[in-house]
Amino acid sequence: MTVSPLAAWSDRLAALAPVLDAAEVPFRSQLTVRVSDPDAIAAMGSTLGVGFPSAACTFTSGTGPCGDVEVLWLGPDEFLVTAPPDQQVTIEEVLRGALGTAWGSVVDTSAQRTTVVLQGPRVRDVLAHGCSVDLHPASAPRGTCVQTLLARTGIVLQVTGDDRVTVLVRSSFAGYLAAWLVDACTEYLAVP
């Protein structure tokens, strides 16, 4: 049986409600795409049904033949495609087909990171304990995707709603990040 990186933390993360609705979304399909040719990027986007983000530090999302797919900007020639579990082989083949003979690579990196969804009115306050990026809605609106440090751990942070963020963290750091989250929420929880 496969155990997700934060399986042991699900109860303690759930106990953060109502300050923070924190839950792992395990085993998401993730593919790292390295490509700089604009035609290949457009072809990959139309195949997925989701256009690749053109602006730095943003992500796009939509529904296509491979289901609900998100495409995250990681660098000027680097993207991360995320999708529901068990889609990685299909998406890899589809994207490789769209890439054709252009220079680039499509690599399954699903095991590299796990996904944590954080939601609640205090989500920005909690993250501010360990993340220096300005997450105010004026500077980080919905659709923002930044790679930064949260409590010295490298993360990819997606702003998916008014009080909702998705954090992608390396599997081996996930336990540490969960422990830090529980600690950072302490001051907002009601005293028993």
Partner 1 sequence: MQLIPCPWCGPREEAEFHYGGQAHVAYPEDPSALTDEEWARYVFFRENPSGPFAERWSHNAGCRRWFNAVRDTRTHDLLAVYRVGEPMPEVTA
The residue ranges that bind partner 1 (CB under 8 A) are: 56-57, 74-76, 78, 132-133, 146-149, 152, 154
CA–CA distance, 151 with 109 (Å, rounded to integer): 23
With respect to partner 1, which residue has the nearer C-beta, 63 or 172? 172
Q: Which residues pair with 132 in a beta bridge?
A: none
Count of beta carbons in the 10 Å neighbourhood of residue 35: 22
**Shortest Å, Cβ 23 to partner 1:** 25
**Shortest Å, Cβ 42 to partner 1:** 21
**Shortest Å, Cβ 149 to partner 1:** 5
**Shortest Å, Cβ 148 to partner 1:** 6
With respect to partner 1, which residue has the nearer C-beta, 94 or 168? 168
CA–CA distance, 18 with 21 (Å, rounded to integer): 6
With respect to partner 1, which residue has the nearer C-beta, 148 or 186? 148
Q: Given strand 59-64, what is the order of strands in its sheet?
A: 59-64, 67-75, 78-83, 29-35, 104-108
Q: Are 64 and 46 in contact (CB under 8 A)?
A: no
With respect to partner 1, which residue has the nearer C-beta, 63 or 148? 148
* Distant-in-sequence contacts of 129-133, Cβ < 8 A, 24+ apart: 129/184, 130/180, 130/184, 131/155, 131/157, 133/157
With respect to partner 1, which residue has the nearer C-beta, 134 or 183? 134
